[in-house]
Structure 1
Amino acid sequence: MEQRLAILLQGGVIDQEIHDGMLNVISELEQQWNISIRHSQGNMALTHMASALMRSRRGESITPIDNEVLEEVQQSEQYPSLLVIHNALLRHFPLTIDPSEEGYLLVNLYSLMLAANDR
């Protein structure tokens, strides 16, 4: 994952601040929250998070996630914990995330939590 972030940085997809914050996210997910990211779902989720943060920084907007998908996550038993983790991870970045991005971030984090429970 660290290599992927370096490539995103070198390619100009993310800046140094997002890169460094994402390294903190990786560490926090693995060490504090015990959520593994060393698999394809983790690569996808963290790549999307880095890109979403950069789009938010640039003021770019995307189409929001489908409401049904987001509602499924919001109705899950894990949702209160998910919000705590989500907010803790976003504290690594001095920016406001675009609301359209937030749904995707929540769904990706939820997927990581489910994958961690399956291991």
Structure 2
Amino acid sequence: MDIRDRIKILYNGGVIDEEVRELSFKTVSWLEKRYIKLDDEKGHMFLTHLTMSLERIRKGGQVEALESYLIDELQNNKVQAITQDFINFIQKAGKIQLPESEKGYILLHLCSLIGKE
């Protein structure tokens, strides 16, 4: 299944709204332009998590932050720079401020995605 189809299913099922759907499509394009593959299970899991987190943020919800030692270890990873670019893109394109807890999970998922290549 194409990742865009998964986003459409979340939208058609009423899980996410139109604004989150459109931002999710933009994030897919952003990642693909940087040759970050989303067509496997890890890619689908990341985009599903991201889409759900964008909806949660829009509704004012939050998740618990990752343990600080994990964040410290991940921030020393080569993926840190692209993660920051990605976070900046989401915040600008979506006109939202991502909580630190969500940024940690984005870093974790991108380390997993990019590390597999």
Task: Report the equivalent of 2:65.
Answer: 64
Task: Report the equivalent of 2:7.
Answer: 5
Q: How far did residue 42 of structure 1 move?
A: 0.4
Task: Report the equivalent of 1:113.
Answer: 114
Per the normalisation by structure 1, the TM-score is 0.86
> Could you tell me how far apart the structure 2 residues matched to 1:78 and 1:97 are?
18
Task: Report the equivalent of 2:27.
Answer: 25
Q: How far did residue 71 of structure 1 move?
A: 1.5
> Could you tell me how far apart the structure 1 residues matched to 2:86 and 2:62 are?
23
1:4-33 per-position Cα deviation (integer Å, ceiling 9, x unaligned): 1111112222110110111111111112x1
> Could you tell me how far apart the structure 1 residues matched to 2:103 and 2:47 are?
13
Q: Which has the higher contact order (CA 8 A, sep 6+)?
A: 1
1:15 aligned to 2:17?
yes
> Could you tell me how far apart the structure 1 residues matched to 2:62 and 2:83 are?
23
Q: How far did residue 85 of structure 1 move?
A: 2.9
> Could you tell me how far apart the structure 2 residues matched to 1:77 and 1:62 are?
25
Task: Report the equivalent of 2:80.
Answer: 79
User: Which range is displaced more, 62-71 or 17-26?
Assistant: 62-71
Unmatched tracts of structure 1, length 5 or more: none
SS of the residue corresponding to residue 22 of structure 1 reads helix
SS of the residue corresponding to residue 46 of structure 2 reads helix
How high is the sequence identity, in percent, across the aligned residues?
29
Aligned length: 115
Q: Which runs of 4+ in 1 moved over 3 A?
A: none
Task: Report the equivalent of 1:49.
Answer: 50
User: Which range is displaced more, 11-20 or 84-93?
Assistant: 84-93
